[in-house]
Amino acid sequence: MQIFDHTIAALSTPPGKGGVALIRISGRDARAVAERVFHAKSGKSVFALAPRCAVYGDVLFEGEAIDDVLLTVFPAPNSYTGEDTVEITCHGASPIVEAILSALFAAGAMPAAPGEFTRRAFVAGKLSLSEAEAIGELLDAKSLSGVKLFGRDSRHRLSVALSSLYEDVCHLLSSLLAVIDYPDEDLAELSEDEILVRLAEIEARGRRLLATYRTGSAVKDGIPTVLLGKPNTGKSTLYNLLCGREAAIVTEIAGTTRDILEATVPLGRVLLRLSDTAGVRESEDAVERIGVLRSKEAAERASLVFVLFDGARACDAEDEALLSFLDTLSGVKVALLNKSDLASAFDASVLEGHVSHVLPFSAKTGDTTALSALVDRLFTDDSLTIGEDAILFSPRAYAALLRGCEALSRAAEALRATGAVDAALMEAESALAAFAECDGKEVSEDVVSDIFKHFCVGK
């Protein structure tokens, strides 16, 4: 794993105009760098400042005061990175920030790479890899559920759950090795039957954790969702409602929407990667025909399809053609009988066998409560409390955990079928390696680099 021997500095708040900005310095020379640019009003040296106490003073560059700031020292190892860390809170004008960074670089610091502060925390053992990944996702969270999923408590519980699997397999391996190395000495802590029970128990825990990925993925990555229907059924009105703004043009003219509009929006506990599409119908208009073709292609890729029907009108030939198209789709299909605030004229029985759920709905009144609850039931596990339970969200960790569980299954099968402890040992070692990869105990430098390159510079 990479060893860091230089001191870094970066802006940790968003660039641009603001009331205050935070600049972070980390590394073995962090205090020395700060000492060269900071003059405390008290006259104290940076090396003499009390830990974690903000001190008022000036930052100097080429002998001139740039700004009056607050400086806080976080000595190693009790800092975010595990190294000596200094934070400078200054006024948020861009020229001030740029001048302070220039002063720090002239004083010996180097510009931080994306995610380098968190990467140093990982290398120092302050964070597991799953916790570091969660912090990166937290910075890009698009919903309150995402904030909870990647928050401190949730990411810690996930790290504990992954570590527990690793440690239990370690313990199991010691018994398997004792059986192989000393077959006549009865040194193993567990009998073969007990080893089988333990293998099954660890695998079951791993698979329960794997099952949480469906919820984690829906919160983190979102569900590819398409609004489908013939013209003037309320697709764009619903799109605007879910977006919380007038993102799509809504008129009484059929065929107003010609191309696909896309947005990522929260609904209940999940994100929808939402596409508003052109109304599906036969048309002589060449542009509209292209729009309809794109609508159908988007629906074919979607995991969730909201099919809107005008509940105030009887089912017609265009609706029937749409139902036939629905039968070719693999995603979850939810029929929304729009205009439920008006007298119903649509016979919902014609939808049987074409969609999995039917929901009366009114885009005009704007109540999405039932729709939100339905999507939550379809794509999340309501037994999980986001923010409190260990929930898997990383495809990388999911793949490694799945490999580990499958290796445990093969280990049990080998032991049960033939009593071949050495074969079981090999599979258990494979499981251990996979579980180690889950949380970064054993992971390649390329994987670590790929994770942290997606971070912002100041984190």
pLDDT of amino acid 416: 84
DSSP for 373-408, written as a single string: HHHHHHHS-TT--TTTS-----HHHHHHHHHHHHHH
Rounding to the nearest 10 degrees, give the CA dihedral for residues 148, 154, 155, 159.
-160
pLDDT of amino acid 261: 81
Selection from 107, 63, 65, 104 nearest residue 87 by Cα: 104
Selection from 184, 61, 165 nearest residue 403 by Cα: 165
Task: Give the Cα separation of 99 and 106 in Å (integer).
Answer: 10
Rounding to the nearest 10 degrees, give the CA dihedral for residues 134, 138, 141, 144.
100
In order of their start, the domains of the chain are 8-128 (3.30.1360.120), 135-212+392-439 (1.20.120.430), 219-379 (3.40.50.300)
Task: Give the Cα separation of 142 and 72 in Å (integer).
Answer: 31
Q: How do strand 304-310 and strand 332-338 relate by DSSP bridges?
A: parallel
Question: Roughly how many angstroms between the first and final C-alpha of the chain, as a whole number?
Answer: 19
Task: Give the Cα separation of 55 and 38 in Å (integer).
Answer: 10
Q: Are 122 and 135 in contact (CB under 8 A)?
A: no
Give the Å distances, CA to CA, from 98 to 30, 112, 162.
Answer: 18, 14, 42
Residue in the structure block whose two tokens are 């990647």: 150
pTM, whole model, 2 decimals? Answer: 0.80
pLDDT of amino acid 279: 60
Q: Are 323 and 350 in contact (CB under 8 A)?
A: yes
Give the Å distances, CA to CA, from 378 to 125, 224, 270.
Answer: 38, 13, 11
| Residue 336 CB contacts under 8 Å (≥ 6 apart), including other chains | 238, 306, 307, 308, 309, 359, 361, 371
The count of other CB atoms within 10 Å of the CB of residue 156 is: 16
Residues of the chain with pLDDT under 50: 184, 187, 247-258, 284
